[in-house]
């Protein structure tokens, strides 16, 4: 069992991180034009989904905040994060001569904006990029020339301070012969600025916020026990989890006041600080389970996390310390004698408060007969590289966790 104070036996660390400018607080989008002027951006293309683009309470504060720097709105993103959508977005970017992309909404809009940026800097045709995605699972990011991105989140998934993006392509696009998926990643894809406005987050339906929040909450949980945790990410994750724990319980009780949303936004910003760094991430085994359950099944990411997180933590604590002392501190249960059990219960309580499912059998996921294939996909996920030191999961153990979650 490893020392609870350090993720490995070596206390030395290297922390390389160049985050976005952070703007937070009610009405902060009013300062969009000022921030763009400060950073030297002249013409902004807003990238969002059709619902966001047609909802005045969301889109109007952003377009008004951009003022004379608004070049246009591209309201065509979808949860599938299609390469063909990014190609259409690139045409719009060029048509309005924009020099900065402003993503508005959830992670799918931000991911699409990032892919648009990559396409804008590439001198290769979309069909060539489609074949590259199909063959390699990624698209090479050019060394320079990427239009910068400003992110305005309306959910609590915590995808804003990230250097990566997911992308898919369908055969109907003419870019690939069969369904393809993968991602892009590069430090240049870190947003130039993030505007975390709780008034915009409050416009999102409660059910969407609840599911996204579980994903964001687990980012803080995993950051503490990740193999590459640092004292810096410890500090931000602990404080972020404290805020999210209190804010999500209040939100689950029906609180919709400014204080609750302000607390949630601050917590989400903190737990994602430093988790996406050049060549590494602090996301770990819970996210690997989430990927394994959502890539081939119709399970929403946050719901998958709510179901598997308690079972994954039980398994983890049976084999390693998992820095449970820090987790207990962050979740407000540090006085409990059996910290492992109360940590699991505290995480389970968050899912219950948010009204999320707690059993795998209750969602449109895999049958038990498919658990061996799901377990292999989870073991192959890149996030498994960040499991705590001393934990060496096997396919049989992963199947056992799925059985617990069933």
Q: Identify the CA nearest to 155 among candidates 58, 284, 32, 273.
A: 58
Percent of the chain with pLDDT over 90: 91
As a whole number, mean pLDDT of residues 262-271 equals 97
Question: pLDDT tens across 100-121, in order?
Answer: 999 999 999 999 999 999 999 9
As a whole number, mean pLDDT of residues 136-144 equals 96
pTM over 0.75: yes
With a cut of 60, say whether residue 1 has pLDDT above it: no
**Paired tokens of 74:** 């591209």
Instruction: Outline where DSSP puts E strands in 41-157.
Output: 44-49, 70-77, 100-105, 149-153
Confidence class for position 2, pLDDT limits 50, 70, 90: very low
CA distance linking residue 287 with residue 368, whole number of Å: 20
Confidence class for position 300, pLDDT limits 50, 70, 90: confident
- Tell me which of 188 and 256 has the higher pLDDT: 188
Using DSSP, state whether 387 is helix, strand or coil: coil
Q: Which residue has the tokens 């406005």?
A: 197
The one-character DSSP state at 69 is G
Confidence class for position 137, pLDDT limits 50, 70, 90: very high
**Residue 8 confidence (pLDDT):** 52
Give strand pairing partners of 70.
44
As a whole number, mean pLDDT of residues 173-195 equals 95
Question: pLDDT tens across 333-390, in order?
Answer: 987 767 899 999 999 999 999 999 999 999 998 999 999 999 999 999 999 999 998 9
Confidence class for position 11, pLDDT limits 50, 70, 90: confident
The one-character DSSP state at 392 is -
| Phi, psi of 296, rounded to the nearest 5 degrees | -125, 5
- Write down how long the chain is: 406
With a cut of 70, say whether residue 37 has pLDDT above it: yes
Q: Identify the CA nearest to 365 among candidates 279, 321, 306, 310.
A: 306
CA distance linking residue 131 with residue 138, whole number of Å: 10
**Residue 294 confidence (pLDDT):** 86
Average pLDDT of the chain to the nearest whole number: 94
As a whole number, mean pLDDT of residues 227-237 equals 96
**Residue 337 confidence (pLDDT):** 65
With a cut of 60, say whether residue 3 has pLDDT above it: no
Using DSSP, state whether 130 is helix, strand or coil: helix
Three-class secondary structure assignment of 294-340: HCCCCCCHHHHHHHHHHHHHHHHHHHCCCCHHHHHHHCCCCCCCCHH
Q: Which residue has the tokens 């919709």?
A: 256
**Residue 298 confidence (pLDDT):** 82
Percent of the chain with pLDDT over 70: 97
């Amino acid at each position: 069992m490893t020392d609870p104070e350090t993720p490995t036996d070596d206390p030395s660390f290297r922390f390389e991180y160049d985050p976005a400018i952070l703007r937070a607080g009610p009405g902060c989008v009013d300062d969009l034009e000022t921030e763009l002027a400060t950073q030297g951006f002249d013409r902004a293309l807003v990238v969002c989904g059709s619902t966001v683009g047609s909802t005045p309470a969301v889109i109007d504060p952003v377009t008004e905040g951009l003022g004379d720097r608004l070049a246009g709105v591209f309201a065509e993103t979808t949860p599938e994060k299609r390469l063909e959508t990014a190609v259409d977005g690139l045409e719009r970017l060029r048509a309005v001569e924009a020099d900065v992309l402003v993503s508005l909404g959830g992670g799918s809009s931000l991911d699409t904006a990032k892919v648009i940026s990559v396409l804008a800097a590439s001198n290769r045709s979309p069909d060539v990029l489609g074949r590259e995605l199909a063959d390699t699972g990624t698209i090479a990011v050019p060394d320079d020339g990427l239009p910068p991105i400003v992110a305005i989140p309306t959910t609590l998934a915590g995808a804003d301070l990230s250097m990566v993006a997911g992308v898919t392509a369908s055969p109907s696009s003419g870019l690939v012969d069969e369904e393809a998926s993968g991602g892009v990643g590069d430090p240049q894809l870190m947003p130039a600025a993030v505007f975390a406005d709780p008034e915009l987050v409050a416009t999102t339906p409660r059910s969407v916020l609840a599911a996204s929040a579980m994903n964001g909450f687990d980012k803080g949980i995993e950051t503490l026990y990740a193999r590459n945790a640092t004292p810096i990410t410890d500090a931000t994750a602990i404080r972020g989890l404290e805020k999210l724990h209190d804010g999500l319980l209040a939100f689950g009780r029906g609180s919709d006041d400014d204080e609750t949303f302000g607390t949630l936004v601050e917590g989400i910003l903190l737990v994602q600080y430093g988790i996406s760094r050049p060549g590494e991430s602090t996301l770990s085994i819970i996210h690997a389970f989430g990927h394994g359950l959502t890539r081939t099944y119709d399970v929403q990411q946050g719901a998958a996390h709510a179901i598997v997180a308690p079972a994954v933590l039980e398994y983890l604590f049976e084999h390693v310390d998992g820095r449970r002392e820090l987790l207990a501190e962050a979740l407000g249960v540090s006085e409990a004698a059996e910290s492992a059990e109360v940590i699991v219960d505290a995480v389970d309580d968050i899912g219950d408060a948010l009204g999320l499912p707690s059993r795998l059998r209750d969602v449109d996921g895999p049958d038990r007969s498919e658990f061996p294939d799901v377990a292999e996909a989870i073991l192959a996920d890149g996030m498994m590289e960040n499991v705590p030191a001393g934990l060496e999961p096997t396919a049989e153990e992963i199947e056992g966790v799925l059985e617990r979650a069933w």
